[in-house]
Amino acid sequence: MTLLTDPLAYEFFVRALAASAVVGLVCAVIGTFMVLRGLAFMGDALSHAAFPGVVAAYLFGAPFYIGATIAAVGTSLAIGWISRRSRLRGDTTIGVLFSGMFALGIFLFSTIPNYVGDLFGLLFGEVLGISGSDLVALAALAAIVLALVAVFWKELLYSTFDPLGAGASGLPVARLEYLFLGLIAMTIVISLQAVGIILVVAMLVTPAAAAQLITDRFSRLILVAAAIGIVAPAVGLYVSYWTSTASAALIVLVETAAFLVALLLGPRTGLLRRRPARG
Amino acid sequence: MTVTKTTATTATAETTAGRGAAIHLEDVTVGYDDRPVLEHVNLTLQPGALTAVVGPNGGGKSTLLKLIAGLLKPWTGRIDVLGGAAGVRAREVAYVPQAEAVDWGFPISAGDVVMMGRYPALGPLRRPGPRDHAAVAAALDQVGMGAYARRQIGALSGGQRRRVFLARALASEPELYLLDEPVTGVDPATQEDLMRVLGAEAKAGRTVIASTHDLASATEHFRSIVAVNGTIIAQGDASLVLDTDVLRRTYGGHLLFVGDRAVLIDDAHHHDEAAGGEIHHHDGADGGPGHRS
């Protein structure tokens, strides 16, 4: 039992558990809508786009999440605007903007001498180093995102499933899309410290993908994704603690393992289920 | 046979006829990017109309429905829907998209799809109440899908999916039904059932507009027909599609005349013969990638 209780003696470990549970929950909820809207690539794009904002915030001595929010929300709005106004496909616009923003971040970063350790933290996450005030800010942002999803739940669901029918019957489909892009951006900012820029897309997409293999009811889909999103980071953190390995990588690896289990045992794909079902 | 061939001179007459109309389009032009799809469209439909929109693939059938639904903004001209500008009385409009436009793998049950018809009137935050659940159950019963409320939409047959989408439209209690190819590729029993429900709605004073490329169905089930190919070619009662001149101008190169028989040739080079007042058109060849009708 000490295997589970020992790390709890450390405040940093408890804070990391709380932070990763909040991040896992928000990512799972937003990620489920993202996957159903075919926007999985958008998560990758916006997390990279947040990078120059983080570096700029450091240069100006501002909190990192303010810079990250401005850069990610700005990029998501720009992607939405360019896709609507130009003939370019959405994924083309995303590809151009996300690499451009990431390059801008690296350029800004190269102007700072001796900053290497913190860069590693931002790219790959350092949830074990999260401070009490960071945790409060993160929880407040998460509460805002979840509250907005709760308020516009029906509208987001309808416009995700059938944008034409929803638009014709008076739902503001374009504004809902911008709202959702803004929610993705906020979710990424919330997740940056826990899993870092490179791995945040896994937090968004993997629980939703695993849940889709297990259930085909929308409400259960969100619940299963949320459960994976909350439990997997805790398991990952414990393994990371006892093996002294990278926490963010383990969080994502546990989620990937959950996905593989769903793939093997799930009632829909059920790679292992098929044979016993015959007998 | 009553055939109104729309020309520039009828436009002024239709302006006054527009009062009290369910749908009134005046010199409307619209397209995608900078390519016009429909030009100088004038159209007036009265409440209670049961109207089929016919025409070739890419002729602008879907575009016309999207214009009326407020999903596309006209480049020029004016559109009145239910007495206001398009989109103003949107909650009283039910739009059913083409089957190809729907993600049938979406994790949702038939009952949940029908409940979406209640969402716009509910507004943000409010959860569906007993009245909404009763409306959903009644709508599902009306289309013969009462036993399938908990079934996944992806697990339903093509005809059943179309029934569910009509139930969603019914549940929203609209004044105007806009349906894009509602009976394309469905079995005859479903076609009869859907048209019976829509006919009853029209009798009750609601306006029903559906696109179809099945000319036989258009003459059999609808009271009026609008022929579209780049603009409104003609508007009239069901016998309109028997007018060889109208057919020739609507379908252009897709139509061959062999003696007094009209032969429709669609984009995939299928052809069905029409003779003795019946014109058939093959269903399966529609819906190729990138087609717009």
- Give the model confidence (pLDDT) of A230-251 as tens digits: 999 999 999 999 998 888 889 9
Asked if residue A108 is part of any domain, the answer here is yes
Asked if residue A272 is part of any domain, the answer here is no
Instruction: Quote the percentage of chain A above a pLDDT of 70.
Output: 93
Tell whether the model's pLDDT for residue B4 goes beyond 60. no
Return the higher-pLDDT residue of B245 and B78. B78
Q: Name the pLDDT band for A20 (thresholds 50, 70, 90).
A: very high
Burial class (CB in 10 A: 0-12, 13-18, 19+), B256: middle
Asked if residue A274 is part of any domain, the answer here is no
Q: Name the pLDDT band for A277 (thresholds 50, 70, 90).
A: very low
**pLDDT on residue B11:** 40
Contact of A128 with A194, CB cutoff 8 Å: no
- Phi and psi for B140 in degrees, rounded to 5? -65, -40
Contact of A150 with A222, CB cutoff 8 Å: no
- Give the model confidence (pLDDT) of B131-141 as tens digits: 999 999 999 99
Domain of residue A180, residue span: 2-264
Average pLDDT over residues B105-117: 95
Average pLDDT over residues A135-162: 95
Q: Which residue has the tokens 């398009």?
A: B86
Listed by number, the residues of chain A in 90-149 with a beta carbon closer than 8 Å to a beta carbon of chain B are none
Chain B residues in contact with A212 by the CB 8 A cut-off are 107
Contact status of A161 with chain B (Cβ, < 8 Å): yes
What is the full DSSP assignment across A122-151? HHH--GGG--HHHHHHHHHHHHHHHHHHHH
Contact status of B117 with chain A (Cβ, < 8 Å): yes
The CATH number covering residue A16 comes to 1.10.3470.10
How many other β-carbons are positioned within 10 Å of the β-carbon of residue A111? 9
**pLDDT on residue B190:** 93
Tell whether the model's pLDDT for residue B17 goes beyond 50. no
- Give the model confidence (pLDDT) of B149-207 as tens digits: 999 999 999 999 999 999 999 999 999 999 999 988 889 999 999 999 999 999 999 99
- Give the model confidence (pLDDT) of A40-74 as tens digits: 888 888 888 999 998 898 888 888 888 988 998 89
Average pLDDT over residues B14-41: 82
Average pLDDT over residues A115-138: 80
- Give the model confidence (pLDDT) of A173-209 as tens digits: 999 998 998 899 899 988 887 788 888 889 999 999 9
Asked if residue A75 is part of any domain, the answer here is yes
Rounded Cα–Cα distance for residues B181 and B194 (Å): 12
CA–chain centroid gap for B239, Å, is 18
Out of A151, A154, A164, the one facing B119 most closely (by C-beta) is A154
How many residues comprise chain B?
A: 293
Distances (CA, A) of B101 to A162, B149, B181: 8, 22, 11
Q: Which residue has the tokens 């690296």?
A: A106
3-state DSSP assignment of residue B85: strand
Instruction: Quote the percentage of chain B above a pLDDT of 70.
Output: 78
**pLDDT on residue B143:** 96
Query: What DSSP element (H or E) covers B226?
Result: strand B224-228
**pLDDT on residue A271:** 65
Asked if residue A278 is part of any domain, the answer here is no
Rounded Cα–Cα distance for residues B136 and B149 (Å): 9
Return the higher-pLDDT residue of A235 and A129. A235
Listed by number, the residues of chain A in 231-260 with a beta carbon closer than 8 Å to a beta carbon of chain B are none
Tell whether the model's pLDDT for residue B13 goes beyond 90. no
Average pLDDT of chain A is 87
- Give the model confidence (pLDDT) of A172-181 as tens digits: 999 999 899 8
Q: Do B172 and A215 touch (CB under 8 A)?
A: no
Rounded Cα–Cα distance for residues B211 and B179 (Å): 7
Q: What is the DSSP letter of B148?
A: G
Return the higher-pLDDT residue of B282 and B16. B16
Asked if residue A270 is part of any domain, the answer here is no
Residue among A220, A222, A233, A215 at smallest CA distance from A29: A222
Tell whether the model's pLDDT for residue B1 goes beyond 50. no
Average pLDDT over residues A157-166: 95
Q: Name the pLDDT band for B218 (thresholds 50, 70, 90).
A: confident
What is the full DSSP assignment across A8-55? GGSHHHHHHHHHHHHHHHHHHHHHHHHHHTT-HHHHHHHHHHHHHHHH
Interface test with A, best of B106, B150, B152, B179 (most A CBs within 10 A): B106
Rounded Cα–Cα distance for residues B215 and B54 (Å): 7
**pLDDT on residue A183:** 93
Rounded Cα–Cα distance for residues B157 and B124 (Å): 32
How many residues comprise chain A?
A: 279
Query: What DSSP element (H or E) covers A120?
Result: helix A116-124
Q: Do A168 and B70 touch (CB under 8 A)?
A: yes
How many other β-carbons are positioned within 10 Å of the β-carbon of residue B101? 14
Number of independent structural domains in chain A: 1
- Phi and psi for B42 in degrees, rounded to 5? -120, 125
Instruction: Quote the percentage of chain B above a pLDDT of 90.
Output: 57
- Give the model confidence (pLDDT) of B262-275 as tens digits: 555 554 433 333 33
Residue among B228, B212, B143 at smallest CA distance from B179: B212
**pLDDT on residue B6:** 43
Out of B95, B106, B107, the one facing A165 most closely (by C-beta) is B95
Return the higher-pLDDT residue of B258 and B48. B48
Burial class (CB in 10 A: 0-12, 13-18, 19+), A277: exposed
- Min mean pLDDT across A36-50, A117-131, B172-186, B226-240 is at A117-131
- To the nearest 10 degrees (0 to 180), the angle between helices A153-161 and A173-214 is 80
- Give the model confidence (pLDDT) of A83-114 as tens digits: 777 778 778 888 899 899 999 998 998 888 77
Nearest CA in chain B to A215: B107
Rounded Cα–Cα distance for residues A235 and A250 (Å): 8
What is the full DSSP assignment across A203-252? HHHHHHHHHHHH---HHHHHHHHHHHHHHHHHHHHHHHHHHT--HHHHHH
Distance of residue A171 Cα from the nearest chain B Cα, in angstroms: 6
Q: Name the pLDDT band for A1 (thresholds 50, 70, 90).
A: low
Asked if residue A275 is part of any domain, the answer here is no
- Give the model confidence (pLDDT) of B206-216 as tens digits: 999 999 988 88
Q: Name the pLDDT band for B291 (thresholds 50, 70, 90).
A: very low
Distance of residue A277 Cα from the nearest chain B Cα, in angstroms: 20
Beta strands at B224-228 and B50-54: parallel, antiparallel or unpaired: parallel
**pLDDT on residue B57:** 85
Beta strands at B176-180 and B93-96: parallel, antiparallel or unpaired: parallel
Asked if residue A203 is part of any domain, the answer here is yes
Nearest CA in chain A to B99: A162
